[in-house]
Amino acid sequence: MSDTRCLSARPNGSHRGASQMPDAPEALSALRRALEAEVGDRLLVDEPLSAHTSYRIGGPADLFVTVEDQDELCRIVTLAREYQVPYFLLGSGTNILVSDKGIRGLVIENRARGSRLEVREEEAILQAEAGALLKDLAEKSVQHGLAGLEWAVGIPGTVGGAVVGNAGAYGGYVSDVLIQVAILQADGEIQELGAEEVEFGYRTSRFKAANCKRGAASPVILTAQFRLHPESVKALRERMAEYTRQREARQPGEPSAGSVFKRTAQYPAGFLIEQAGLKGKRIGDAQISPKHANFIVNLGQAKASDVKALIDMAREAVLKQFGIELELEQELVGEWND
């Protein structure tokens, strides 16, 4: 494990002390001015997050900026920390439900998508920035005859989100192939963590709880390294085609954010929801998909509150009928009343 300082981060002395609690509107205004000086008209105010989530749902972000590379990501995060304004890192907007009230503070959409492949005799090392799309890495690795990420074909999430939630499909998981991640710490240090330090679990990692806090101490994933191994391109292509066929046959085509609940110890969540009689249940324009009961889809003008109502309904029905408590796989983001 090694430590280096982010080149664009300010030294510790330039940060406001953690004990200083600036007036929120004043701090937000100050950050807005600093960001306007940094990125100009790329800074958006009251940006509707429905334009940036796979649900096509979500209220406004006070401030919104898109970053294109790792160094800019470091600078923007450092500014938010300096002014003590909460920030939320957004990847491709999957696996989250943003409230109708939106997100207070700064939303940073990470489009830092650089990647580098180092091929050796027995293995290959693929390094990618956190904003890279997992499905693009899967395609790139297969093109080079490298196995380990082919299960990610069709998964629309980013590398950062995939690490946070230990993404997986068809028996493969991020935790199976991750070597290490580089993160930006609260003090501006870039720290490398080995896979064992990420503390992976089923659809979780040490970063998931930290991300929910959205405080100055929340680490930011910058890059990830994956270990791949050689395999026939033909065999990999056939496997990817079969995964794609299964995904299209089982999953709905309407806007969604993927699986709503984690699989339980005994049964898939979708099976329990269907047995509870809720498949196809609709509230407003939100619907428990008739195709797969562990998906909630947006039929056009669904609100986050509609989706949340269906989530609560499914949880209550499954608990009442089967005594099993469903655990969310998706994250509720933004301002919620409960």
Parts of the chain belonging to CATH 3.30.43.10? 3-110
Q: Is 203 a catalytic residue?
A: yes
C-alpha–C-alpha distance, residues 297 and 253, integer Å: 9
Task: Report the alpha-carbon distance of residue 146 to residue 236 in Å, rounded.
Answer: 8
Which residues in the chain are classed under CATH 3.30.465.10?
Answer: 115-250
Digit-by-digit pLDDT tens for the chain (338 residues) are 333 334 433 333 333 333 344 578 999 999 999 999 999 999 999 999 999 999 999 999 999 999 999 999 999 999 999 999 999 999 999 999 999 999 999 999 999 999 999 998 889 999 999 999 999 999 999 999 999 999 999 899 999 999 999 999 999 999 999 999 999 998 899 999 999 999 999 999 999 866 555 555 578 999 999 999 999 999 999 999 999 999 999 999 999 999 999 999 999 999 999 999 999 999 999 999 999 999 999 999 999 999 999 999 999 999 999 999 999 999 999 999 75
Catalytic residue check, 259: yes
For CATH 3.90.78.10, list the domain ranges present in the chain.
269-333
Which residue is catalytic, options 203, 214, 239, 315? 203
Q: What is the CATH number of domain 115-250?
A: 3.30.465.10
Catalytic residue among 254, 259, 289, 315: 259
pTM of the model: 0.89
- Is 329 catalytic? The answer is yes
CA angle 292, 305, 335 (to 5 degrees): 120
Which tokens sit at 133?
A: 């799309």
List 109, 150, 254, 329, catalytic entry: 329
The number of helix segments (H) and strand segments (E) in the chain equals 9, 18
CATH of domain 269-333: 3.90.78.10
Fold type of domain 3-110: 3.30.43
